[in-house]
Amino acid sequence: MKIRLLAGLLALGLAATACGGAKVETAPSSSAAPQGGASSAGGTVKIAINPWVGYEASANVVAYLLKNELGYTVELPEIKEQLAWEGFETGDVDVIIENWGHPDLKKTFIEEKKVAVEAGSTGNKGVIGWYIPKWMADKYPDITDYKNLNKYAELFKTSESGDKGQLLFGDPSYVSNEEALIKNLKLNYKVVVGGSEAALIKGAQQAQTQQKPLLFYFWDPHWLFSKTELVRVNLPAYTEGCDADPKKVACDYPEMDLDKIVSTKFATSGGKAYELVKNFNWTNEDQNAVADDMTNNGMTGEQAAKKWVEANTAKWQAWIPK
């Protein structure tokens, strides 16, 4: 998503959340824990939930360990990306567990306002791209070269895209260079907002099973790649600085080392909770396993986290503060 995969995100005010609410989970023995920042003696940790399931998988595993290993109360408010950063300033957010780049937000909230700090890599490698179902690449072998996309624009036309080919997008808050790419690469396409991760997943699955043309924005890591055959369209190769000016972007997205961001207050007073968040580090395969259970196997985030934790003791024990 959730570059979660790079350029800036939309904001509407902190009250507007991804799903209009907040999920609150409480540790068994911390009802009397102090609010407004964790400490080594317990407390409340607020981990923002950004709107894609991979992020939610990471957040639920960290939340499960905070509660069950360290005795903290954990709140998981559903907040879109830029709004979560604003939460560092208001005290509504302690942790963003998976950050996709955002040098603009880092400049504002880390360098200038100094209300947030980096907390190290998640271990996940992320990249955004344009994808088509595999059957299209098999039928039209040259379609994976962006230079040939205009030749196939007719195939991708929809009622929403009019006389142009459709490029299906997800949640409006996602990192996006799509408008600039279409303009600067002179592509006869229009971005159509599906509105959510679920819309992208449904579109991809239908495109493959029903042999329907689809060009869409997506990202890795994601469990969908283990369920549906997708092929990436090759945009001009990314080079350092090619995306420096959002209006002039004409290159693909880079691979990113996804990192964690926490409030400055949490970093200085979060105690063992902060140490656990800082130590948290796993693989794309780890995240995809939890996300798959949450999406396809009927598990809640907590159930999927519990399953992963029970199967990976050696890995997470290294994250627990001594």
Phi and psi angles of residue 286, each rounded to the nearest 5 degrees, phi first: -60, -50
What tens digit of pLDDT does each residue of 21-62 get? 333 333 332 322 333 445 445 799 999 999 999 999 999 999
Rounded Cα–Cα distance for residues 257 and 64 (Å): 24
What tens digit of pLDDT does each residue of 244-264 get? 999 999 999 999 999 999 999
Rounded Cα–Cα distance for residues 287 and 294 (Å): 11
Mean pLDDT of 290-307: 97
Q: What percent of the chain has pLDDT above 70?
A: 87
pLDDT higher than 80, residue 6: no
Determine the pLDDT at residue 5: 41
Determine the pLDDT at residue 4: 44
Give the contacts of 220 (CB within 8 A, at least 6 positions apart): 125, 126, 127, 129, 284
Average pLDDT, the chain: 89
Q: Are 144 and 134 in contact (CB under 8 A)?
A: no
Determine the pLDDT at residue 38: 55
Mean pLDDT of 6-12: 37
The tokens describing 11, both together, are 């904001």
**What are the start-end ranges of the H helices in 117-220?**
134-139, 178-184, 197-209
Angle, vertex CA 243, rays to CA 98 and CA 130, nearest 5: 70
Q: Please report which confidence band the pLDDT of residue 226 belongs to, taking 50, 70 and 90 as the band edges.
A: confident
What tens digit of pLDDT does each residue of 84-139 get? 999 999 999 999 999 998 989 999 999 999 999 999 999 999 989 999 999 999 99
Mean pLDDT of 148-175: 96
pLDDT higher than 50, residue 79: yes
Q: Please report which confidence band the pLDDT of residue 186 belongs to, taking 50, 70 and 90 as the band edges.
A: very high
Determine the pLDDT at residue 144: 98
Q: Please report which confidence band the pLDDT of residue 175 belongs to, taking 50, 70 and 90 as the band edges.
A: confident
Determine the pLDDT at residue 33: 32
Q: Are 98 and 61 in contact (CB under 8 A)?
A: no
Q: What percent of the chain has pLDDT above 90?
A: 82
Q: Please report which confidence band the pLDDT of residue 11 belongs to, taking 50, 70 and 90 as the band edges.
A: very low
pLDDT higher than 60, residue 7: no
What tens digit of pLDDT does each residue of 261-294 get? 999 999 999 999 999 999 999 999 999 999 999 9
